[in-house]
Amino acid sequence: MKRVIEWFQENFAHWVRFSLFAISGILILMLFPRETGFYREFSQTRPWMYDDLIAPFNFAILKTQEELEQERKEVLDDYTPFYRYDSLVYERQFQILNSRFEKTWEDKFTDNQYSSEIKQQKKRLALNIFDSIYRKGVIFKEGSLEKAEPQQEILLLDGNIARVRKANEFFTIQEAFEFIAQELSKKENIAEYRILLRNVLEGSITHSVFWDENANERAKTMALDRISPSRGMIQQGEKIVSKGEIITDEKYIILESFRAEYVRQLGSSSANYFVLTGQFMLVAISMVVLSLFLMAFKRHIFYSTRKLIVILLSIYLMIFLTSQVVKVNINLLYLVPVCIVPIIIRSFFDNRLALYVHIISTILIGFLVPKSFEFVFLQFIAGIISILSMASLRRRSQLFFTVFLIFITYSTVFTGLILAQTGSLTAIQPINYLYFAGSALLTLFSYPLIFIFERTSGLPTDFSLLELSDTNSPLLRELNMEAPGTFQHSLQVANLAEEAINIIGGNSLMVRTGALYHDIGKMEQSQYFIENQNSEINPHDELTYTESAEIIITHVIKGIEKARKHNLPEYIIDFIRTHHGTTTTRYFYVMEQNKNPDKEIDKEIFRYKGPEPFSKETAVLMMADSVEAASRSLKKPSEETINQLVDSIIDTQINENQFDNADVTFRDIATIKKVFKNRMMHIFHIRIAYPSLN
């Protein structure tokens, strides 16, 4: 048992990495649909690339969406609307008419100058007109009847009985008022009575025939339900398409119908188990290939849990987003900002890894979407363009340029695919270009995602390095004010290190940023460092060599403390703590030995506390820092002295095993020496001696 525990402890880091890939694979697998699919790919105007396809069962030829929409439109256009007659309206309005007539008559004729016989006569006239209007009915036009022709038929419900009527058989309110005016002008000669009766009647007339919402909805639903989703049948054993046959519009519809029926009939539980097995194999292979790539070419990433989490989480989030869009509305597929993944990976790592991760994520997404080849090709090209546009990130505005290039790439590739498949521009749906524009704009969301990943993982990105390398930042401005010589030294070291790392390969922006901050610990006692001394007085003259060495060594510790106080990230602090490694303050050590030739000197007192550089970038900074500092002591710089200086300093660091933990080769070191020598000769304006003629 003890051995098992020890073995598990020894291999714990391997289990963590295995678990990360396994969990990612399982989560991705859960997003895949379980239904069986039709594995053959086809598209219009392209030849059928497989053997002859014979129908294994009967299936209906489904109508296209356009055909169904057209039939729905025709059904609704020919639809006869339902209206309901409200019999209670007549009774209610009749009472209103009586009341209004009595009140109006009493208000008008208070002295009883007219007989009751005349009153009853006028009342009968009003009632006759009222009855004539309601026998015909007053309709409230609504729905499709508002703009219908006069001869438009309607179904009038009276109780449970529906009768076909025409719209012009009813009065509208306006027509009823006109009818009242006409009848009164014909049957009443006295204007005073006409006005009185007209006011009474117009105030008593309202609608009696209304739009029946429930009946209309039921009728529409029944009419639409009667639309058949298919047209015609393909019988079992009938040939669907021959090998090499061009897929016409009609053949395409038949094949899509066969695909739908194939999925429906073979979607049994046993088939789903096989589907799950196949999907597991595909996802597992993708995860294995990704891990093998990292092990072979990016070992420092493979052995970093934080970096693996960023990569795997980026892949999963994009697959998750795509799967949800496919479930909700497949038409919004082109709105998914797939290029966020390569942009995020490029920001944290390099172009090569960004491209590889983009390929893996795009291939996995391809299993979720229809017309997977076109989708994968489209996203693959757009991803490459986005990576290339950010290959040398030096400004945040480049992200906006990347968005523009992504939109242009999407539009160009999509247009090319449509032309290659259909040979016509008429098949292009303009809304897709709006989706492409939306997808490109959504790519800007990578910026806050990068910020979140950066804060949670502690990994550097070009965006944060750009902010840190700004020489107008408070800390660098303070360095320039308190230790101007050190600031200029840091700038020269940054230039040297950046030029070298660009040639041997590495993160040039990181090494430049680290170089700008590597000596911030000199600010507190800047006068003790020669580059800041502007007089003949040297404060070290009043100290022992041991005390001087302690002050010089302490600048590393003070730099780390100051960096943490200003919340600099750990990857910048690494440059501060490693830029002298475990070397010695050679000058003071030698002077102490010369002063005490008979005494054994403790070398550890004069040694920096380290650690030694553990990356290519920190190793290059150590070389650049030492070479630049030593070059200031050259009294008569020449090509020969510069060559000797560079070789001597870097060879000494090699002999002291300062680069044993760094990913640099002897070939890299030889290249770095050459870069430093050329750069130094340009700084000191040294000309190469021309050979003389014999």
What pLDDT, in 10s, does the model give residues 626-639? 999 988 888 888 88
DSSP conformation class of 692: P
The conformational region for residue 142 under phi > 0 = left, psi -120 to 50 = alpha, else beta, is beta
Distance CA 59, CA 228 (A): 14
Residue type, 373: F
Q: How far apart are CA 199 and CA 107, in angstroms?
A: 13
Phi, psi of 197 (to 5 degrees): -65, -35
pLDDT at 694: 43
State residue 693's pLDDT score. 44
Cα–Cα distances in angstroms (integers) from residue 375 to residues 23, 334, 371, 572, in the given order: 26, 9, 6, 41
Sequential DSSP letters for 241-284: E-TT-B--HHHHHHHHHHHHHHHHHT--HHHHHHHHHHHHHHHH
- 87-101, 205-219, 287-301: which has the highest mean pLDDT? 287-301
pLDDT of residue 186: 85
Q: How confident is the model at residue 114 (pLDDT cuts 50, 70, 90)?
A: low
* pLDDT tops 80 at residue 395: no
* pLDDT over threshold 70, residue 38: no
pLDDT of residue 33: 77
Q: How many Å apart are CA 94 and CA 134, to the nearest integer? A: 10
Rounded CA separation 450/345 (Å)? 9
Q: Which of 27-31, 260-264, 690-694 has the lowest mean pLDDT?
A: 690-694
CA distances from 562 to 381, 482, 521, 565 (A): 46, 14, 7, 5
82-85 and 153-158 strand pairing: parallel
Above 80 in pLDDT, residue 422?
no
Segment 38-63 mean pLDDT: 77
Q: Which pLDDT score, from 0 to 100, does residue 356 have?
A: 94
> Which pLDDT belongs to residue 197?
85
Number of H helices, E strands in the chain: 28, 8
pTM above the 0.75 mark?
no
Determine the Cα angle at 266 with ends 263 and 271, to 5°: 115
- The mean pLDDT of 341-345, rounded to a whole number, is 94
- The percentage of residues in the chain with a pLDDT greater than 70, rounded to a whole number, is 91
Q: Is the pLDDT of residue 690 over 50?
A: no
Q: What is the pLDDT of residues 350-371, one digit of tens each?
A: 889 999 999 999 999 998 887 7
pLDDT of 35 strictly over 90: no
* Structural domain spans, the chain: 8-26+270-441, 37-63+228-266, 76-223, 462-683
Q: What pLDDT does 692 receive?
A: 47
Query: Which CATH architecture describes the domain 462-683?
Result: Orthogonal Bundle (1.10)
Work out the average pLDDT over 226-234: 85
* pLDDT the model gives residue 275: 78
User: Which of 528, 47, 71, 34 lies closest to 266, judged by CA?
Assistant: 34
pLDDT at 296 over 70: yes
Rounded Cα distance between 101 and 122, Å, is: 9
Residue-level pLDDT at 39: 61
Question: What are the helix (H) ranges across 31-115?
Answer: 65-77, 87-108
Residue 233 has what DSSP assignment?
Answer: E
* Amino acid making up residue 74: E
Average pLDDT, the chain: 86
Q: Mean pLDDT throughout 173-180?
A: 88
Say if residue 36's pLDDT is above 60. Answer: no
To the nearest 10 degrees (0 to 180), the angle between helices 340-348 and 446-457 is 40
pLDDT at 20: 92
In the three-class reduction of DSSP (H, G, I as helix; E, B as strand; rest coil), residue 5 is classed as: helix
pLDDT surpasses 90 at 394: no
**pLDDT at position 589:** 85
Consecutive H or E run containing 628:
helix 616-631
Closest CA to 407 of 438, 429, 431, 448: 438
Of 2-6, 176-180, 188-192, 468-472, the poorest mean pLDDT is in: 2-6
What DSSP character marks residue 155? E
